[in-house]
Amino acid sequence: MSRLFGTDGVRGLANSELTCELGLRLASAAAVVLGTGTRPRAVVGRDPRASGEMLEAAVCAGLAAAGVDAIRVGVLPTPAIAFLTADYDAAFGVMISASHNPMPDNGIKFFGAGGHKLDDDVEDRIEAAMAADDHPRPTGGDVGRLLDAPDAEERYARHLAAAIDVRLDDVTVVVDCANGAASAVAPHVYAAAGATVIPIYAEPDGININEGCGSTHMDKLQAAVLEHGADLGLAHDGDADRCLAVDSTGGLVDGDHILAILASAMHRKGRLHEDVLVATVMSNLGLHIAMREAGISLHTTAVGDRYVLEELRRGGYSLGGEQSGHIVVPGSGTTGDGILTGLLLMAEMVENSKRLADLASIVTVLPQELINVRVADKHAVAQAQSVTDAVAKAETELGETGRILLRPSGTEQLVRVMVEAPTPELALGIAERVAGVVATVGE
> Does the annotation place 283 within a ligand binding site?
no
> Does the annotation place 51 within a ligand binding site?
no
Phi, psi of 161 (to 5 degrees): -60, -30
Per-residue DSSP letters for 338-382? HHHHHHHHHHHHHHHT--HHHHHTT--PPPEEEEEEE-S-HHHHH
Is there a contact between 173 and 346 (Cβ–Cβ < 8 Å)? yes
| Annotated active-site residue in 51, 99, 183, 318 | 99
Closest among 15, 216, 187, 186 to 96, alpha carbons compared: 15
Closest among 215, 210, 159 to 180, alpha carbons compared: 210
What residues have CB less than 8 Å from 71, skipping those under 6 apart?
A: 41, 42, 43, 44, 84, 88, 90, 147, 148, 149
Is there a contact between 71 and 149 (Cβ–Cβ < 8 Å)? yes
In terms of phi and psi (left: phi > 0; alpha: psi -120 to 50; beta: otherwise), the region of 14 is: beta
Q: Say whether 99 is catalytic.
A: yes
Closest among 303, 241, 245 to 278, alpha carbons compared: 303
Q: For residues 242, 246, 247 and 250, what is the CA-based torsion angle, rounded to 10 degrees?
A: 170
> Does the annotation place 183 within a ligand binding site?
no
Rounded to the nearest 5 percent, the helix, strand and coil shares of the chain are: 45, 20, 35
SS3 209: coil
* Chain centroid, CA 94 distance in Å: 16
What residues have CB less than 8 Å from 424, skipping those under 6 apart?
A: 367, 369
* Calpha distance 172→426 (Å, rounded): 40
> Does the annotation place 205 within a ligand binding site?
no
What residues have CB less than 8 Å from 60, skipping those under 6 apart?
A: 27, 44, 70, 72, 146
* Calpha distance 390→12 (Å, rounded): 37
SS3 433: helix
Q: Which residues are annotated as a binding site for Mg(2+)?
A: 99, 237, 239, 241
Annotated binding-site positions: 99, 237, 239, 241
Active site residues: 99
